[in-house]
Structure 1
């Protein structure tokens, strides 16, 4: 899984920005296609056209509605009629787009070209079955533009405005209709008019910033959405491993320079000490500056003390050498034996309790050193001589037998064994035929079998016909040993390759797996719409997993998507992902995203079992999305690795 981390570095280095419909987006698509080819797939770059107004048509409609509600309250009859018609017309377009999926304004504006990268892994292995469910993994690779509203304090309330925008649109339409009822008092109609304007203000702010976003700089998109593409390629490496790591030339991070330590203390003056009021009033405070350098007298005293210390050390070392030289081995033995006799006499009570004159301190120290040195070596005198013969004290010498004793066998017994009328019997070939159970227990080595005829024998007697001489058994045993030796020869390279490939994860490769990198997702999810229009029948009954902004924020499962015509994610997929995350110790939570749509929302509306994994920030917005801070340094590559492992486990359990 560590290769996912390498893909995060590689994609951030190779792809700078990739706005929808640009040349940079096309180059990013070619790069992703080349990586898929290295894994043995045949990706196709599917181009399609999309209208540039697709991303701002709703924003333009909201602004027109705001103008209409303002004109609806004007006293002029012509402006009043225009305002009411604009408001009701925009409401009708809103209902047609989100309820009936009939987007009238989608075909307006100039066209631009984008592309999807689609690759398919065909199911292989022994576990391939007709009912295996296809898996579709999608992630968009285009980069969004910056939005100033996403980094303002208002960002915490964006999801609320988008969540309740459908009710706001209906409220504005009702306020416009009230203006038609001229029989109502002017105060009532004026109140509804003001309420309609207030309700439309939050929608207008978001719409204006959405239009301004088209002219703002493009983000780097390290998290939105290079991190998800890196996880997609990491999953591809798990399915079709190559062992190749993408080369990244990113320089190492510079070492952090530590700031110099700050001073720990500060010297206070006379004023501070007086302000503490801890000294009596008649006490005078005077600071005396002391010279830290030594004067001449102190220097002479220190030199004399050092010389006297040096002379004393030389005298002590000389006296010790003289004493050590005077002490001989005989003196050590005599002193030790004398000490032993004195200790024995003391134990027997022969020594009186009279006071004994102690030797001088210097002589006592010399004797103690001599006795201790000899006493440490005296314990070695009782050890046995290693050059002598080893004798066991617990064995009697008379009971021991000579080592060269051997028991000889009588010659009569040998002759009797040769001339014995009884034959040595064993099992015959018919009785040694292996049963199916023995065949199943036989050892396999590169598709070769080593059948031992004795594997099936469970003890007991055999018939007379199945008995034979022992010499025949020895001959067959020799032949079987030769066969085993032949089977144990070194395998060929082809056999080794087949054995290694047989170790692949059968559950993982037994599914048809689609790897799809979507383009122009920022233009009202045009990439997903084009993919579904071409491959809807090919992915019938498939599980679709959408990865979005997974490199930062809190990794979450979106169980509800879409502010209007809200759809629910597949419950079985949510349960499987939650269980797999618990088994893999991956922190993940389930949350609602019923205030905006994703690429998988379009698949849900086309009856495709789908789910989205997304990293959400504290404000419930996609983490780092549409912000200048969406750079490599703020991406958690380990979370991308966990997501790739989670999706891989989901494929196994499908």
Structure 2
């Protein structure tokens, strides 16, 4: 099994930055598909459309809110239209943050894809498998000033300010429209402008992000999560037989005369020589073959593919002319036109008739042995059928009544008598079906032997996984709004309604936690069943992993929780509760902790087994 850090190297270094809807993201998806398939998993690529970025949608949100606040103070007739526009913007942006719908849906789009691999055990009749989904996104983000080392520690505060300023602006505009607030003008308008003015900060940051900032390698976010997911796959799914994965072609063999003689394939007295496969052939026919016209081409049936092959000639030694061929020497379609291979032509004596078949003397001798032609009419001797005496091992003179009288009492059927009892019973060694003492001497032999057979049959079966169907899902386009996870729930939601969804994100640096609360609009609590499972696994494995609220952007668990699915995220945070090197240029493989990825894979594997 390769080290999990090698998977991080492949994604972050060999493939590099993997922005949503780009060729690099597609190459990463192809690599993941190959990795899943090489493990023998049922693999599927789910295609969908996704925006290239989320930045321009939020630039529009901020511009419309600022314009509404500005116009409300300059024109009295524009107050109510400004309120309507700002209120609609706030409502639509809230739905966008909730991963539902918004302006992001109408932004320019491109193709993206999820890679889905399923490990499905054999299902017994009437058995319902528990479904567990392990998720990790494989795309990477563009850097932004909002995630610079000096600002990211305050990201939760700045993001909350952006939301509340957008939601409060229509409230202030509505207050300006009310008659009893006329005395508060123009101070109320100044307050409205002050609230909305903060939106200039995220507006400028998003424009700067799209115009000047590079894409990051995404080693921690989220090549580390993909590596941990592949580690779970390797721990749960047994490696397939290597022989079943080998595909090769076998070259054709050409044996020389010496090799054929050693193998005994050449008849005695024959000569082996090679002639070009496409060489000239004679069209002169002997007199006894007048029905075949020289050089005549056989008409090819229409609608059928016809292959003409060179034939091997076997001519008798001393013959002047070779025997006629069935074709004119054309070759199959796979042969090259300038082929120089030679076809073997063997010559030798004609086999005598005695060798080719039985002679008359032999046939007559066989008929005499069978009794002549009328021998078949004689009645056959009836085969002796086995009867009860054969089964019991006695002859025809055995008298069952006499033997029963000699046995006498039922007490002697218990088999507790001595050798004299056997002699009295006619020396049979058995009484009333008793075949003697148990040669093993263990009254529980049958049950113990059955248990041993069951152990031998099931010793290679992982019983903790026999009732679980595990999905491994590598999602695309997560960094532009969790569009990969939304596509998965849209197309497979009916299959995942009762599934447990474990999302792995940014587990390559920091301290490992499970996100107890997450979401950008509403705060969604992790599924109680999964949190209880995480606590139990942490306690039993003595792995120090605790819950912690996550106040950053949405993860792939966020749209699942928003739609009522059972989901939870496993993440690593710094002291401020944010992912390490999050969406910044320093998110490289040099800053990834390989042991933390291994720890994450072991923890999630234990959760899947205990689920």
Q: Give the alignment partner of residue 440 of structure 1, picking from 433, 444, 447.
A: 447
Quickly say closer, same or farther: Cα 1:53–1:596, change in 2 above 3 A: closer
Q: Give runs of aligned pairs for residues 373-412 of structure 1, distance below 5 A.
A: none
Contact 1:125 1:506 in 2 (8 A): no
Quickly say closer, same or farther: Cα 1:133–1:165, change in 2 above 3 A: farther
Matched position secondary structure for 2:87: helix
Q: Give runs of aligned pairs for residues 344-363 of structure 1, distance below 5 A.
A: none
* Partner in structure 1 of residue 205 of structure 2: 209
Quickly say closer, same or farther: Cα 1:582–1:6, change in 2 above 3 A: farther
* Partner in structure 1 of residue 23 of structure 2: 23
- Taking the aligned partners of 1:448 and 1:42, their CA distance within structure 2 comes to 29
TM-score if structure 2 supplies the norm length? 0.63
* Partner in structure 1 of residue 414 of structure 2: none
Contact 2:176 2:182 in 1 (8 A): no
String of CA shifts for 1:450-476, please: whole Å, max 9, x gaps.
Answer: xxxxxxxxxxxxxxxxxxxxxxxxxxx
Q: Is 1:431 paired with 2:437?
A: yes
Q: Is 1:551 paired with 2:508?
A: yes
- Taking the aligned partners of 1:244 and 1:618, their CA distance within structure 2 comes to 45
* Partner in structure 1 of residue 69 of structure 2: 69
- Taking the aligned partners of 2:241 and 2:506, their CA distance within structure 1 comes to 25
- Taking the aligned partners of 2:150 and 2:193, their CA distance within structure 1 comes to 23
User: How much has 1:179 moved relative to structure 2?
Assistant: 1.9
Matched position secondary structure for 2:115: strand
User: How much has 1:652 moved relative to structure 2?
Assistant: 1.0
- Unaligned 5+ segments in structure 1 are 246-420, 450-497
Q: Is 1:198 paired with 2:198?
A: no
* Partner in structure 2 of residue 174 of structure 1: 171
Quickly say closer, same or farther: Cα 1:183–1:609, change in 2 above 3 A: closer
Which structure has the greater CA radius of gyration?
A: 1
Q: Is 1:605 paired with 2:562?
A: yes
Quickly say closer, same or farther: Cα 1:524–1:438, change in 2 above 3 A: same
Q: Is 1:516 paired with 2:473?
A: yes
* Partner in structure 2 of residue 627 of structure 1: 584
Contact 1:20 1:519 in 2 (8 A): yes
Matched position secondary structure for 2:177: coil
String of CA shifts for 1:248-306, please: whole Å, max 9, x gaps.
Answer: xxxxxxxxxxxxxxxxxxxxxxxxxxxxxxxxxxxxxxxxxxxxxxxxxxxxxxxxxxx
Contact 2:226 2:474 in 1 (8 A): yes
String of CA shifts for 1:547-586, please: whole Å, max 9, x gaps.
Answer: 1101112211112221323322111111111221232232
Q: Give runs of aligned pairs for residues 329-368 of structure 1, distance below 5 A.
A: none
String of CA shifts for 1:125-152, please: whole Å, max 9, x gaps.
Answer: 89x9724420001110001010122115
* Partner in structure 1 of residue 550 of structure 2: 593
- Taking the aligned partners of 2:178 and 2:521, their CA distance within structure 1 comes to 30
* Partner in structure 2 of residue 366 of structure 1: none
String of CA shifts for 1:346-380, please: whole Å, max 9, x gaps.
Answer: xxxxxxxxxxxxxxxxxxxxxxxxxxxxxxxxxxx
Q: Is 1:637 paired with 2:594?
A: yes
Contact 2:550 2:578 in 1 (8 A): no
Quickly say closer, same or farther: Cα 1:96–1:20, change in 2 above 3 A: closer
Contact 2:140 2:222 in 1 (8 A): yes
String of CA shifts for 1:565-615, please: whole Å, max 9, x gaps.
Answer: 332211111111122123223222211225542211111122210001111
Q: Is 1:114 paired with 2:112?
A: yes
String of CA shifts for 1:35-64, please: whole Å, max 9, x gaps.
Answer: 001100131111111234655423421232
Contact 1:163 1:594 in 2 (8 A): no
Q: Give runs of aligned pairs for residues 275-354 of structure 1, distance below 5 A.
A: none
User: How much has 1:224 moved relative to structure 2?
Assistant: 0.5
Matched position secondary structure for 1:647: helix
Contact 1:239 1:509 in 2 (8 A): no
Q: Give the alignment partner of residue 561 of structure 1, picking from 505, 508, 518.
A: 518
String of CA shifts for 1:96-146, please: whole Å, max 9, x gaps.
Answer: 6568x76252442322111110111112489x9724420001110001010
Quickly say closer, same or farther: Cα 1:119–1:107, change in 2 above 3 A: same
* Partner in structure 2 of residue 290 of structure 1: none
* Partner in structure 1 of residue 275 of structure 2: none
- Taking the aligned partners of 2:21 and 2:225, their CA distance within structure 1 comes to 20
Q: Give runs of aligned pairs for residues 208-247 of structure 1, distance below 5 A.
A: 208-215=204-211, 216-242=213-239
Quickly say closer, same or farther: Cα 1:516–1:242, change in 2 above 3 A: same
- Taking the aligned partners of 2:48 and 2:39, their CA distance within structure 1 comes to 26
Q: Give the alignment partner of residue 571 of structure 1, picking from 487, 503, 528.
A: 528
- Taking the aligned partners of 2:500 and 2:447, their CA distance within structure 1 comes to 39
- Taking the aligned partners of 1:20 and 1:448, their CA distance within structure 2 comes to 51
Q: Is 1:44 paired with 2:40?
A: no
- Taking the aligned partners of 1:51 and 1:422, their CA distance within structure 2 comes to 95
Matched position secondary structure for 1:233: helix
- Unaligned 5+ segments in structure 2 are 243-417, 423-428
* Partner in structure 2 of residue 86 of structure 1: 85
- Taking the aligned partners of 2:164 and 2:454, their CA distance within structure 1 comes to 73
Matched position secondary structure for 1:556: strand
Q: Is 1:103 paired with 2:101?
A: yes
Matched position secondary structure for 2:504: strand
Give the RMSD, CA atoms, in angstroms: 3.4
Contact 1:135 1:542 in 2 (8 A): yes
User: How much has 1:158 moved relative to structure 2?
Assistant: 1.8
- Taking the aligned partners of 1:49 and 1:223, their CA distance within structure 2 comes to 25
- Taking the aligned partners of 2:189 and 2:11, their CA distance within structure 1 comes to 52
Matched position secondary structure for 1:173: helix
Quickly say closer, same or farther: Cα 1:59–1:184, change in 2 above 3 A: same
Contact 1:569 1:611 in 2 (8 A): yes
String of CA shifts for 1:384-425, please: whole Å, max 9, x gaps.
Answer: xxxxxxxxxxxxxxxxxxxxxxxxxxxxxxxxxxxxx999x9
User: How much has 1:544 moved relative to structure 2?
Assistant: 0.3
Matched position secondary structure for 1:103: coil
Contact 1:155 1:619 in 2 (8 A): no
Contact 2:119 2:471 in 1 (8 A): yes
- Taking the aligned partners of 2:551 and 2:591, their CA distance within structure 1 comes to 27
Matched position secondary structure for 1:507: coil
Quickly say closer, same or farther: Cα 1:192–1:153, change in 2 above 3 A: farther
Contact 2:4 2:227 in 1 (8 A): yes
Q: Which has the higher contact order (CA 8 A, sep 6+)?
A: 1
Quickly say closer, same or farther: Cα 1:42–1:635, change in 2 above 3 A: same
User: How much has 1:168 moved relative to structure 2?
Assistant: 3.1
